[in-house]
Amino acid sequence: MGKALVVRQSNHLIEAQYKLSLVEKRFVLYLTALVTQDDDDFRWYDVDLEAMAQAFPTAHKDLLGQFERVADSLMKKVLHVKDGETGVRTKFQWLAGAKFDAANRAVRVSFHPDLKPYLLKLKSFFTTFAITNVSNLHSAYSIRLYELLKQYEKLGKRAFKVDELQAALGSEYPRYPNFKQRVLVPSVGEICDNTDIQCAFTEEKKGRKVLAVRFTITTNARTRADERAKSSAAAGEGGDATRALLTDRFGFPDAEAGKILEEHSSAYVREVLEVVEARVREAAVSGNPVINIAAYARKAIEVDWRPKTGSLAAEAAELERKREAAETERRAKEAKERDRARLDQEARDAAWARYVALSEEERRGLREEFEADLASGKAQGGEFILNQWRAGGLSSPGAKANFRSWLAKRPGFTA
């Protein structure tokens, strides 16, 4: 198992304003994790495409081709970093350059030099987190919100004016109701379900207008507690596993956790805690967070909040069925995308083989036709690929990839 990938970045960079897609944001995080605190300057960083695929299990299969497109984008997209003391804003791109060796599936990148103060030799005012905490977040909004809240985890709270939060997340929804429904609520749910922090938000209003959003942030011990619980359960230590849940996830003092397990069975406590966790999560998403989770759980254990047959139990079972159906649908979609990517690759390979077998005159005719289609807009790639083609022809990886795709779409060319 490889070394854990950890992102370490200046808080100024976290506060920066920029707009990236989910794929672009994932690539930036992975590349950032390649920078070590031993680096005195940026160098050419070797990218392990297989390791990247493992870091983000839902990533596109054709990482080499995707990486080239993303690298092109990151060399053009601008981020705005503001100095909190001077107020000076600096604008620059993410990457200075990228190198691709398609034959060996090798990729190397270099960061833009203006990023040095935000990634190198950080001594203070920085935030770190493991990539595993964001690898299962499925929107760039969720990842950006996670970074902004993780930065304030120790303080336990953070507030934003609505327009500032929309700008920080790169939101495309200017109206707050849409922003709340499509960005805030889903992102909070994803963060609570998949990361090492729990969060919830409340709204500050003037009349009916929402002026600010206030977040509460707590450490989510779920991963640590689950691992301890699994370990204990494997050893047949049910009581110890439940005690770990009480202390690590719900914040009970160890002595009180022990007393609870003297008065109630481990199975009973676990069933109640499942209900507590579901209600806490529901409250967080609805904007009415539970502040004292231990007190909330204590009351639940005392009065028995376990679902009664035919009511909450049925609802919980139905919710679980829906979740399983959604997961099955997601996996089927990913499998379909993988199959499509494989078939596309096979078509490109077959088209290229047929092209290579042609005479030089026929090949030259096809290249001229491709250039004409690029210029007229019939072939995908636009002016950017057209310039690459005219400058380097098939020696340009990006232009060559587009040419192969163009060949594969020609009627009967892959037959």
β-bridge mates for residue 212, sequence order:
161, 204
What pLDDT, on the 0 to 100 scale, is given for residue 166?
A: 94
What pLDDT, on the 0 to 100 scale, is given for residue 227?
A: 47
pLDDT tens digits, one per residue of 347-402: 888 888 888 888 999 889 889 998 898 888 888 877 888 888 888 888 888 788 88
What pLDDT, on the 0 to 100 scale, is given for residue 236?
A: 42
Give DSSP secondary structure letters for 129-182.
EEGGGTTT--SHHHHHHHHHHHTTTTTTEEEEEHHHHHHHHT-S--SHHHHIII
pLDDT band with cut points at 50, 70 and 90 for residue 327: confident
pLDDT tens digits, one per residue of 83-106: 766 778 889 999 999 988 777 777
What pLDDT, on the 0 to 100 scale, is given for residue 286?
A: 60
Report the share of the chain in percent with pLDDT over 90: 24
β-bridge mates for residue 89, sequence order:
82
**Strand, coil or helix: what is 106?**
strand
What pLDDT, on the 0 to 100 scale, is given for residue 378?
A: 85
β-bridge mates for residue 202, sequence order:
214
Which of 112-126, 324-338, 400-414 shows the lowest per-residue confidence on average (mean pLDDT)? Answer: 324-338
Phi, psi of 44 (to 5 degrees): -80, 115
Kindly state the tokens that stand for 382: 């636009």
What pLDDT, on the 0 to 100 scale, is given for residue 169?
A: 93
Give yes or no for a contact between 348 and 404, defined as CB atoms under 8 angstroms apart: yes
Q: Which residue has the higher pLDDT, 334 or 182?
A: 182
What pLDDT, on the 0 to 100 scale, is given for residue 309?
A: 47
Q: Where in the chain is the domain with CATH 1.10.10.10?
A: 1-135, 139-220
H-helix or E-strand spanning residue 68 = helix 63-74
Q: Which residue has the higher pLDDT, 316 or 70?
A: 70
Q: Indicate the fold that domain 1-135 takes in CATH.
A: Arc Repressor Mutant, subunit A (1.10.10)
What pLDDT, on the 0 to 100 scale, is given for residue 345?
A: 84
Measured from the Cβ of residue 32, the count of other Cβ atoms closer than 10 Å reads 21
| CATH code for the domain defined by 139-220 | 1.10.10.10
Give DSSP secondary structure letters for 307-358.
PPTTTHHHHHHHHHHHHHHHHHHHHHHHHHHHHHHHHHHHHHHHHHHHHHHS
The residue to which tokens 């709204």 are assigned: 203
What pLDDT, on the 0 to 100 scale, is given for residue 414?
A: 60
pLDDT band with cut points at 50, 70 and 90 for residue 60: low
Whether the pLDDT of residue 305 is over 50: the answer is yes
What pLDDT, on the 0 to 100 scale, is given for residue 381?
A: 79
Q: What is the mean pLDDT of residues 128-155?
A: 91
SS3 content of the chain, % helix, strand, coil (to 5): 60, 15, 25
